[in-house]
Amino acid sequence: MRLQIPLAIILIMGLFTIVTSFVPAKPIADLNQTFRNWYIGIITFFIFLGTFNLVRVNGERIKTKARDWQYSIILIAALGVMLFAGFFKGRASLDEGSPFMYLYFNVQFPLEATMYSLLAFFVTSASFRAFRARNTQALVLLLAAVLIMLGRVPVGTSIWKGFPDVTEWIMSYPNAAAKRGIRLGIDLGLISMALRMILGIERSYMQ
């Protein structure tokens, strides 16, 4: 029962979703929509589980006074403040001008943007290593990156007016060709793996 029922659920739900996606008739389409709503609702529980686990792990760190346990207090406090701001006024907690949005725009957003902008320094040092034309393939990578950047910044246009057109051509044809090839490969892999899981051949996710 612990194995058969889950295998039956994935088989039924997978086939039902595929088949009913092509059936716009009322009762079937409604049922399909209901299952999609359930699916969206259920996956949100993953983040609730993650949040719960975050509290549990950090609570444990505080209790056992593990290394740097003081930071766990800050984390739980920040989480508590955000949760309180997000729930104390009901649905209106997410309205514009609410404390929740104030915290988002003035604390979380600056932290997030700065965190990502920090990568500019590391990406610069990484590009110094990556942009060495050791062989022809590396030279192609270097040229593509340099041309793309020159075509997208004002200094490139002031050097040569044709850079934006070259950039556009690279993006629309050779770049799009490789991205399409990768995309088609991913799609074929995704379909074969999805069918293996739906048909119960691939079960490693249940361990």
Residues between 8 and 27 with contacts to other proteins, criterion CB under 8 A? 9-18, 21-22
> For 187, phi and psi rounded to 5 degrees?
-60, -45
Whose Cβ is closer to other proteins: residue 29's or residue 78's?
78
By the rule CB under 8 A, 152 interacts with other proteins: yes
CA-based R_g, the chain, Å: 25
Determine which residue in the list 123, 133, 159, 160 makes contact with other proteins, applying CB under 8 A: 123
By the rule CB under 8 A, 201 interacts with other proteins: no
Determine which residue in the list 27, 97, 121, 158 makes contact with other proteins, applying CB under 8 A: 121
**Is 37 within 8 Å of 61 (Cβ atoms)?**
no
Number of H helices, E strands in the chain: 9, 0
By the rule CB under 8 A, 114 interacts with other proteins: yes
By the rule CB under 8 A, 115 interacts with other proteins: yes
Q: Other C-beta atoms within 10 Å of 7: how many?
A: 15
Q: Which residues of 28-55 are buried (b: 16+ CB within 10 A; e: fewer)?
A: eeeebeeeeeeeeeeeeeeeeeeeeeeb
Q: Tokens 């739906």 label which residue?
A: 198
Window 91 to 110, contacts with other proteins (CB under 8 A): 91, 93-94, 100, 102-104, 106-108, 110
By the rule CB under 8 A, 59 interacts with other proteins: no
CA 169 vs CA 147, 154, 174, 188: distances in Å: 11, 18, 8, 28
Window 181 to 200, contacts with other proteins (CB under 8 A): 181-185, 187-188, 190-191, 194-195, 197-198
- Window contacting other proteins (CB under 8 A); options: 59-67, 156-164, 177-185: 177-185
d(CA 60, CA 31): 43
Determine which residue in the list 29, 30, 53, 162 makes contact with other proteins, applying CB under 8 A: 53
Q: How far is the CB of 41 from other proteins (least distance, A)?
A: 4
By the rule CB under 8 A, 160 interacts with other proteins: no
